[in-house]
């Protein structure tokens, strides 16, 4: 009897949770990296980082503080982008000294990720492999640190 291999139907992106979206983007980053698409690697790395930041905001506002999910979603849209979400939403939420320290330690990497992304998206710059490697490494550290604070031992696959 011949076994027929069926293609697994993927969950639509719009129905995925933040963790699934981060992992999906990370797989895409890996493929782009191996194709040498350095600028796209930078964009996707920033996207995955922003999704991790979204997760932090949702955990803090919807889950811990029990705010309405629709209100939290409107805040995410209002804050617009990595820097807006960090400066307008996360920093004001930080009351625990340990949380404040973690974000302070990550802030230069978050700024670098955002600046490199913006230079591609808004100025059309092309990135080199060295920049892509730096941003992937920074994104991995930021994502694992942030998500790990809420979802336990969260790890992404090493791409490089």
pLDDT, one tens digit per residue, over 84-114 is 999 999 999 888 898 889 889 999 999 999 9
**pTM beyond cutoff 0.85:** yes
pLDDT, one tens digit per residue, over 14-66 is 899 999 999 999 999 999 999 999 999 999 999 999 999 999 999 999 999 99
Three-state DSSP at 6 gives coil
The full set of domains in the chain, from first to last, is: 18-151 (1.20.120)
- 40-67 burial by CB neighbour count: b if 16+ within 10 A, else e? bbbbbbbbbbbbbbbbbbbbbbbeeeee
């Amino acid at each position: 009897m011949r076994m027929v291999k069926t293609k697994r139907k993927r969950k639509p992106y719009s129905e995925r949770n933040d963790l699934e979206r981060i992992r999906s983007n990370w797989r895409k980053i890996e493929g782009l990296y191996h194709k040498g698409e350095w600028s796209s690697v930078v964009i996707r790395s920033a996207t995955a980082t922003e999704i991790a930041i979204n997760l932090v905001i949702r955990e803090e506002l919807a889950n811990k503080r029990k705010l309405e999910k629709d209100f939290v979603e409107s805040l995410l849209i209002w804050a617009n982008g990595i820097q807006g979400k960090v400066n307008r939403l996360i920093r004001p939420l930080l009351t625990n000294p340990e949380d404040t320290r973690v974000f302070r330690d990550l802030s230069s990497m978050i700024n670098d990720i955002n600046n490199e992304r913006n230079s591609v998206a808004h100025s059309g710059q092309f990135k080199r492999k060295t920049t892509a490697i730096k941003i992937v490494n920074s994104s991995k550290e930021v994502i694992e640190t942030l998500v790990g604070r809420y979802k336990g031992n969260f790890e992404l696959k090493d791409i490089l």
